Amino acid sequence: MIKIPFHPMIFETDIISLSWHGFFSVIGVAVAVYMVIKQSRKDGIEDDLIFNVASWGVIGGIIGARLVHILDNLDYYIDNPINFLYIWRGGIGLWGGILGGLLGGVLYAKFIRLDRSMIGRLMDFAAPALLAAQAIGRIGDIINGEHCSRATDFFFGWYYTNPNSPGMSCITRSESWSNGHFPLGSDPSTPVHPAALYEFIWDIIGLVILVVFRNKLQPNGSLWFVYLAWYSLGRFLIQWVRLDRVYFWGLQEAHFIAIICFVVSVIFLSVKTRRSN
């Protein structure tokens, strides 16, 4: 079993603090923007356009990610409303970041009157960059203990020992949200599935696939929907070992979003591929 002893905060003051999750999220965004700029230069697209679209995408992503996290933890934020604003302490919903970022970027692109083909091309540039950013962000999740998971007796299970780690609260969460997927009498040293590591590996595999196919799919925008379908499938499967709030049919919020995004992606790819042929 793997023991993770790290404090979730890099530094913390009365005014501001920075978590490992926040740090790696910023690094991930920076890497993603760099990847998009590097690829777009090969098409002769100006850096200013990429920076502007990316800026609105990041703004939309931050808002969407925070809103999804708040909705998934609504009871806590109703009792602690000031914490709505403390995004630097961690607490974002990746689905909200993906969809909010898409909405922010596309709305700005529409505002400056980019045509559909160019918007689709920019989306294709963003697809592998998003997976890279997500993989980097999951490193912060691993250090922080951000996502509670089901108990496991497999050798690759891990547990958190720092009393400030969110991972230490997983026993309570499992009892109140998911009908106790931990064995009775469990304690914080109970090994759990490394869900964030599973997703990191899934993202890296997807990144390799997208890099291989990024210049081979038509029409523009297709690669982004391949990305969305890939991530949706992986998130749906990995979500079964996570301990987020169960709503109904035994499914969590991320399950429903993954199903919708996967179906939309498959329909888009089927229709567009048929038309292009």
Question: pLDDT digit string (tens) for 80-120?
Answer: 777 777 666 656 788 889 999 999 999 999 999 999 999 99
pTM value is: 0.87
User: How many structural domains are present in the chain?
Assistant: 1
What distance in Å separates the CA atoms of residue 122 and residue 221, rounded to the nearest whole number? 8
Q: Which pLDDT value is given to residue 250?
A: 80
Q: Which pLDDT value is given to residue 75?
A: 75
Contact 61, 101 (CB under 8 A): yes
Which region among 1-5, 24-28, 235-239 has the lowest average model confidence (pLDDT)? 1-5
Q: What is the mean pLDDT of the chain?
A: 85
Contacts (Cβ under 8 Å, ≥6 apart) of 181 = 150, 151, 174, 243
Residue 18 pLDDT greater than 60, yes or no:
yes
Residue 229 pLDDT greater than 90, yes or no:
yes
- Residue range of the domain that includes 84: 2-276
Residue 179 pLDDT greater than 50, yes or no:
no
Q: Which pLDDT value is given to residue 126?
A: 95
Q: Which pLDDT value is given to residue 185?
A: 45
Contact 238, 199 (CB under 8 A): yes
pLDDT band for 238, please (50, 70, 90 cuts): very high
Q: Which pLDDT value is given to residue 277?
A: 59
- Torsion sign over Cα 71, 142, 259, 109: positive
**Nearest CA to 257 among 22, 19, 67, 89?**
67
Q: Which pLDDT value is given to residue 186?
A: 58
pLDDT band for 207, please (50, 70, 90 cuts): very high
Lookup result for tokens 């409303």: 81
Residue 178 pLDDT greater than 50, yes or no:
no
Contacts (Cβ under 8 Å, ≥6 apart) of 93 = 64, 65, 66, 67, 68, 69, 71, 72
Q: Which pLDDT value is given to residue 87?
A: 66
Residue 176 pLDDT greater than 60, yes or no:
no
Q: Average pLDDT, stretch 151-161?
A: 84
Contact 124, 221 (CB under 8 A): yes
Cis omega (within 30 of 0) on the bond before 163? Answer: no
Share of the chain above pLDDT 90, in %: 46
pLDDT band for 217, please (50, 70, 90 cuts): confident
